[in-house]
Chain A
Amino acid sequence: MTTTDMPRPLDADAKQAVSRKRPQNAAGGGFRRAVPATTLLWILACLYGLPVLWFILSSLKPASDLFSYPLTLVPHHPTLSGYLTAWRSANFSQYFINTAIVCVITTILTVGVSCCTGYALAKYDNKWLKVFFVCILATTMLPSEVMLAPEFLVVRNLGLYNSFAGIILPAVLTATGCFMFRQFFLTVPDELVEAARIDGARELAIFARIMVPLSRPIMLTLAILSFQWRWNDYIWPLLMLNDPNKFTVQIGIQSIVGAQNINWSVLLGASVISMIPLIAIFLVFQRYVMSADINAGLKD
């Protein structure tokens, strides 16, 4: 892949500004073209939205109404009993706290480490940095799912089995994070660094005082992504933890599914509770998630 097919942010903005001013097509009237496009869009959107809507509405039904025919979309007697039972049963609140701890720590470490690496890759041109760049690229080819057994042994040999550190540390290095920051710092003019050097600033001070504050939007984007990845992790925590008091939310949900008789009322409640934090974060920070920067890391 060449670097030529990477959209330069400035470029993209300019084009978006232009695209908003696209002239109306003279051949097809606006209204005549708007109807099929809008209809198709909303048919598709309904197909995508319905499963989630049905799931959430079902979770508000009392356990006795879940399977009563005929099925109703809207619950007759909406109740939060499913949520309350889920929250109180099987340490679920403990799982929630565990997951939050793991997510927050991993995210902070991921953002910090990726920011440093991305800056080094963008602003210095040592030979060994190029080699390391390829190394990071290689990690994308070998996801942890592929190295399940050996990775497990390594973590066990480090004495991190059944500890949060065993889940957190292997997850800190992400190629996507490093490349997102590299992409961003490439757009920061070298003159800025040169000027600071001429003023006698030390290298690491330039990074800490000038570059880190500049990269705040990227930090937030990666933080949201990282939080989402870790919140939704399943297989790695499952392998790493054997103490039920340390389980994460996803393991808790899967253990309800794995039971002989699935308690759907509790399962729906637990699942919806587990969705809330991410959807809340997303709705607040939508702008950062939806920005095109997400692909900066992938477009290399």
Chain B
Amino acid sequence: MTISASDVSASPPRRRSKYTLAPLVLIAANVVLFALFFVWPAVIGLVYSFTNYTGVGVFQWVGLDNYRNLFGDSTFYDALSRTLLYTVLFVPLNFALSLLAANLVVSKHAKGASVARVIFFIPWLLSPIVVGVLWRWLFGENFGLVNYVIEKLGGGAVPWQSNADLSLLVVVMAASWMWTGFTMLLFIAAIKNVPVSYYEAASLDGAGPWRQFISITLPSIAPTSFIVILLNTINAMKEYPVFVALNNGGPGSSNNLLVQYIYETGFKRGQIGYASAASFVLMLILMAVAIIQLIVNRRVENR
């Protein structure tokens, strides 16, 4: 099939909107799914959040009571602040580890990079539940490998499970470890897209590898960095299974994050209306996070 240049230039850009039926048929399934499992839940979630619905039977309109109770509930604040703390710890750690792994894997000096890449990637294949179990096994206080090694080196047993902050730290490490492979892939693709001539010019000017990384790699991959931070923030805000399997949100309820709070109130105590209100607050937080990051990204790009 050959199309000569004259053919192409002669025909004006065609408006293809004369086709209606075909694209409609093609997207029909997703439109139905979108309406059923996205629009409908969003609407009834909003409606029920103003009621005292328990999932069965009759319910009453309670106005803003759910929201009032929510903001008066210290447990909710604990879950919210713990979620934010977890996010603030997880996002930079995962970012740094993934970027380091990506740079080492694409480095022309590192040997065995393709095998290492697979090793970095395998944790991402494991389910969050299994990751939780695995790190629970690793960081067991009186049977785990980590404390065993620490004691061999002459330290005392570290209370990984019974201290709330250390327990959170283990989850942060576990989640960073799990997500590295995926984030690393995004970074690898971005780094490979940086024109080689930039690096050549820089090394002619006598810039070392560190300087090249700071002055060329980092600015070039900024769009990807932004996406990584956005995705990871959203992922962190809705983390639940890793906590459940690693320490069950414990010790006690000190590491119950937002999704666990919603789950416990909505499904264990049957307060669907109240849980819907909590869901909505989480949604608003996620939207706010995304919008703030978009604005910051715009600012940075326009500078």
Contacts and interface: CB of A to CB of B under 8 A. Distances in A.
A and B form one complex: yes
Interface of A: 1, 5, 7, 11-12, 15-16, 18-19, 22-23, 25-27, 30, 33-34, 37-38, 40-42, 44-45, 48-49, 51-52, 54-55, 58, 66-67, 69-71, 113-114, 116-117, 119-121, 123-127, 129, 132, 135-136, 138-139, 141-143, 145-154, 158, 169-170, 172-173, 178, 191-192, 194-195, 203-204, 207, 228, 231-232, 234-235, 239, 250, 253-254, 257-258, 264, 267-268, 271, 274-275, 278-279, 282, 286, 289-290, 292, 294-295, 298-299
B55 interface: yes
A234 B245 CA distance: 11
7 contacts: A42-B112, A136-B34, A147-B41, A172-B29, A195-B3, A235-B240, A282-B125
Given A7-B193, A33-B109, A145 B122 contact: no
Interface in B28-66: 29-31, 33-34, 36-38, 40-42, 44-45, 48, 55
Contacts of B115: 45
Contacts of A55: 134, 137-138
A71 B148 contact: yes
Contacts of A119: 26
Given A120-B22, A148-B267, 13 more contacts: A7-B193, A23-B200, A25-B203, A37-B109, A48-B119, A124-B16, A126-B23, A136-B30, A146-B259, A148-B263, A149-B276, A253-B129, A264-B137
Interface stretch (B72-80, B85-93, B156-164, B283-291): B283-291
Given A15-B192, A120-B23, A299-B227, A145 B30 contact: no
A45 B119 contact: yes
Contacts of B110: 34, 37-38, 40-41
Nearest 9 A/B pairs, CB to CB: A150-B45, A232-B127, A203-B22, A150-B41, A292-B189, A37-B109, A120-B26, A5-B223, A41-B104
A234 B118 contact: no
Nearest to B28: A116
A138 B34 CA distance: 10
Given A51-B135, A150-B42, A278-B125, A235 B263 contact: yes
B127 A250 contact: yes
A290 B117 contact: yes
A108 to B, nearest CB: 13
Interface string B8-19: 100000111101
Contacts of B292: none
B153 to A, nearest CB: 13
Contacts of B101: 44, 48
A295 B192 CA distance: 13
Contact of A30 (B25, B109, B180, B244): B109
B177 A173 contact: no
Contact of B34 (A30, A52, A135, A192): A135
Nearest to A251: B129
Given A48-B119, A52-B134, A153 B55 contact: yes
Given A124-B17, A124-B23, A254 B129 contact: yes
Interface centre among B21, B145, B234 (most CB of A within 10 A): B145
B120 interface: yes
Nearest to A112: B29
Nearest to A153: B44
Nearest to A127: B17
B127 A274 contact: yes
A231 to B, nearest CB: 7
Nearest to B144: A71
Contacts of A228: 125
A150 B23 contact: no
B150 interface: no
A143 B42 CA distance: 11
A267 B129 CA distance: 11
A158 B37 CA distance: 11
Contacts of B44: 150, 153-154
A148 B275 contact: yes
B279 interface: yes
Contacts of B48: 149-150, 153
Contacts of A145: 238, 240, 259
A26 to B, nearest CB: 8
A191 B117 CA distance: 39
A41 B224 CA distance: 22
B259 A290 contact: no
